[in-house]
Structure 1
Amino acid sequence: MRIGFADEFGNNSFEFETQGSHFIVACILVKDAEQVSVLENQAENIRKKHFQTGEIKSNKVATNHTRRIKILQELIELEFSIFAVVIDKRDLFGQGFKYKKSFYKFTNNLLYKELFRTFPELELNVDEHGTNNFMLEFRKYVEKNHQRTLFSGIEFNQINSSSSIIIQIADFIAGTIGYIFDESKESEYSQEFYNLIKPKISVLNNFPRKLTVAEFNESAVDQTYDSRIAEVSFQRIFDFIEKGSNGETQINDQITFLKLLLWLQRANPRSSYVSTGEIMRHLNYTRDKPMNEEFFRSKIIGNLRDKGIIISSSPKGYKIPTSSRDIDSFGRHGNRIILPMLNRINEARNAIKLISLNELDILENPIYSDLKNLLDK
């Protein structure tokens, strides 16, 4: 079982000029407990040399780039690897991410999928005193959502960074990656920082990146996933988005919704439904006049379905179908609505025909020809 020590850089603020453009989670990976002991002893010597009695902390070095380089040069000689998720908040589609709850949910989903898909057996240690509590929220998320049927094993521990020098290294690496990517931290030293840590990086995932069907196929962990269903569902959405809006507000809203659904579903390891409430929070964040749910269901969801976009729905919300189970949900939804409605129309039609001795048929109008043929059959 691999052993990981994780810490984060950045926060959920979208005030890029003052609060930074990126949110980063860095995980120091070690092969086993024996190597942990060796690493701790070696890192302790580096700590004493550069930080004396204090912890190894990126913010203690801050913009002293020469000092950071010297510390990195010694750290990279140690035996560990780096796993990191780098989220560019500037490209997160949907203003609702400015809500801390929505942002944490997105990043929790994303980190969970990427980390435990890559390392199905992992003991993860995090600082119990996170500056923005992200790791504490992540632990709650894992405890709630982890499924033993998907992953072989996971252990999750909270420890104080003062008693774990490897978590201190994770802090330093996360901060260094911040000085590589974050627009408020970038400098002429950024490339040198990257070159130094590059040999230690096992995985560095940048998000968001251009969406493709292949990526969804590659990252799927849902055991019911069907690439054929996913292919047609996603490709129709990509084609629709690619065509653009021609300036029409309604189509703009539809594209916004589809992009949002793609990002949220992409981050979710189990491809669960996205609730109507969460979608509406995102869509209405910057609207002068909030969109109501009736308009959303008829003009956004309904109209997209009329155009051939396949969207599954359930009492839990909406999703892009990726399995026969999702398509069944879509069919059940239609079955609940369409058959009762057809039956009501048919009952009314028969009642009028009966009272008029077949002289009056409410479906005689040519605009009802398809409906009339369907009921006649």
Structure 2
Amino acid sequence: MKNIIAFADEYGNNSFEFSTQGTHFIVASVILKKDKLAETEQYIEDIRKRHFQTGEIKSRKVGDQHHRRLKILQELVQADFSIYAVVVNKRKLVGEGFKYKPSFYKFLNGLVYKELFKTFPELDLVVDEHGDNDFMRQFKSYVQRYHQPNLFSGSDFQFSGSAESVMIQLADFIAGTLGRCFDEAKISPESQQFLQVLEPKITSLNFFPYDKQHLLQVGEEPETGFHEDIAQIGVNSAIHFIDNKKVINQDDADQINCVKLILLYFNTYGTKKYIPTKQLIQHLQVGREEVLSEHNFRTKVIGKIRDAGVLVVSSSAGEHKGYKLPASMQDLYKFVSHGNSVIMPMLHRIAVFRDKIKLATLNDVDILDKDEFKGLRELLV
């Protein structure tokens, strides 16, 4: 993971004057491999010259020019990077302490640290040293205090002015665009389009506090067949796993990141949307030294998170091929039906195999007589 670098910027502030200062605070980071940095910087620089001439790429310069923002986004997402972001709804933060800047930023420090450095312990992080980036300056102090050098000696924290770094400018534009997707004062009819364009690049959106009603607010109309209780059970299973899973090795990290992705897509892009296997693997590949094969993904990631109690359903048919959380009775039946189509034929084959051996040996050999096959014997009675 020493090959990973991130550029971060913030949107919003610590003010709780929602009508004038906004409802959300967002920290967005763009992450990529260092060996792709020069190529990506050149690509972003070409976009800067084309759309901003001699100025910087700034979200606030585009403002409410939604068509212009969409056009720029469509070009930016062709570059090689992933988006990790923490989205805080200030309306949902309870307690007077949050209204004071030090307390608010201290709380955010922990959130952002957990999201970035626990996923990429040897990450190099670059942030803007100019302007009103109070949070980033405090975050630097937090990382220096809590990031254990004996465990994570490969990480580095740098300041770089946005004027000198088009990657910081990219982070600014992403943070500002996410603000226009979630901040109540900035949401527009184009917000969903922004999210759709960013979809291939978003690897993690960590919402805090998590709002169980968020999944009901994404679409303009409730989705046909949607069952709120089933959806909530699935969401709860994902959140419980994320909150309680300990990361000891790469498999653990892959499992947590996969559940985060499934939860993100469920909440942001619709409860009927399946995430293709290749797309999940592509996101999980960020920061990995070894290639994650499809076989290992199915056995060491999907299989293990299901074993741990996360309710993940799958589909192998047409445009709905992939994985997601359940949101309807049909999703549940589809999961059971798939299991039935695999398990019953396999049990039948074992039964036929067993019977032929018993017949040929006059019952002297029972291939299921070992203790480890007790469950199979009971199923085949």
Flag whether TM exceeds 0.5 (same fold). Answer: yes
Greater Cα radius of gyration, structure 1 or 2: 1
Q: For residue 379 of structure 2, what is the aligned residue in structure 1?
A: none
- Structure 1 residue 77: deviation in Å? 0.8
Cα distance in 1 for partners of 2:194, 2:240 equals: 33
- Structure 1 residue 199: deviation in Å? 0.6
Query: Are residues 11 and 219 of structure 1, via their aligned partners in 2, closer, same or farther at CA, if it must alter by over 3 Å?
Result: farther
Q: For residue 245 of structure 2, what is the aligned residue in structure 1?
A: 218
Q: For residue 160 of structure 2, what is the aligned residue in structure 1?
A: 159
CA contact (8 A) 2:10 2:133 kept: no
- Structure 1 residue 153: deviation in Å? 2.7
Q: For residue 59 of structure 1, what is the aligned residue in structure 2?
A: 60
Query: Are residues 196 and 101 of structure 1, via their aligned partners in 2, closer, same or farther at CA, if it must alter by over 3 Å?
Result: same
Query: Are residues 132 and 4 of structure 1, via their aligned partners in 2, closer, same or farther at CA, if it must alter by over 3 Å?
Result: closer
Cα distance in 2 for partners of 1:86, 1:216 equals: 17
Cα distance in 2 for partners of 1:182, 1:168 equals: 20
Q: For residue 369 of structure 2, what is the aligned residue in structure 1?
A: none
Cα distance in 2 for partners of 1:110, 1:99 equals: 17
Q: For residue 200 of structure 1, what is the aligned residue in structure 2?
A: 201
Per-residue CA deviation, residues 121-177 of structure 1 (Å, 9 max, x unaligned), is: 200000001424111111111111211345353100001110000000000000000
Cα distance in 1 for partners of 2:198, 2:154 equals: 29
- Structure 1 residue 95: deviation in Å? 2.0
Q: For residue 72 of structure 2, what is the aligned residue in structure 1?
A: 71
What secondary structure does 2:245 align onto?
helix
The TM-score normalised by the length of structure 2 is: 0.56
Query: Are residues 219 and 78 of structure 1, via their aligned partners in 2, closer, same or farther at CA, if it must alter by over 3 Å?
Result: same
Cα distance in 2 for partners of 1:153, 1:90 equals: 37
What secondary structure does 1:178 align onto?
helix
What pairs up with 1:51-130 in 2 under 5 angstroms? 51-130=52-131
- Structure 1 residue 83: deviation in Å? 0.7
CA contact (8 A) 1:121 1:153 kept: yes
Cα distance in 2 for partners of 1:23, 1:12 equals: 7
Q: For residue 178 of structure 1, what is the aligned residue in structure 2?
A: 179
The yes-or-no answer on 1:15 pairing with 2:42 is no
- Structure 1 residue 202: deviation in Å? 1.1
Code of the aligned partner of 1:6: A
Query: Are residues 176 and 219 of structure 1, via their aligned partners in 2, closer, same or farther at CA, if it must alter by over 3 Å?
Result: farther
What secondary structure does 2:123 align onto?
strand
State which drifts further: 113-122 or 150-159: 150-159
CA contact (8 A) 1:122 1:155 kept: yes
Per-residue CA deviation, residues 199-237 of structure 1 (Å, 9 max, x unaligned), is: 10111111111686544312679xxxxxxxxxxxxxxxx
- Structure 1 residue 84: deviation in Å? 0.6
The yes-or-no answer on 1:29 pairing with 2:56 is no
CA contact (8 A) 2:105 2:138 kept: yes
Name stretches of at least 5 consecutive residues in structure 2 with no aligned partner. Answer: 212-235, 249-381
CA contact (8 A) 1:126 1:159 kept: yes
Quote the RMSD (CA, aligned, Å): 1.7
The TM-score normalised by the length of structure 1 is: 0.56
CA contact (8 A) 1:21 1:89 kept: yes
Code of the aligned partner of 1:135: M
Cα distance in 2 for partners of 1:56, 1:213 equals: 39
CA contact (8 A) 2:125 2:156 kept: yes
CA contact (8 A) 1:127 1:159 kept: yes
Code of the aligned partner of 2:6: G
CA contact (8 A) 1:179 1:185 kept: yes
Cα distance in 1 for partners of 2:30, 2:240 equals: 31
Give percent identity, aligned residues only: 57
Cα distance in 2 for partners of 1:154, 1:132 equals: 21
What secondary structure does 2:186 align onto?
coil
CA contact (8 A) 2:86 2:112 kept: yes
Name stretches of at least 5 consecutive residues in structure 1 with no aligned partner. Answer: 222-377
Cα distance in 1 for partners of 2:188, 2:129 equals: 31
Cα distance in 2 for partners of 1:216, 1:148 equals: 25
CA contact (8 A) 1:130 1:136 kept: no
What secondary structure does 1:169 align onto?
helix
Q: For residue 50 of structure 1, what is the aligned residue in structure 2?
A: 51
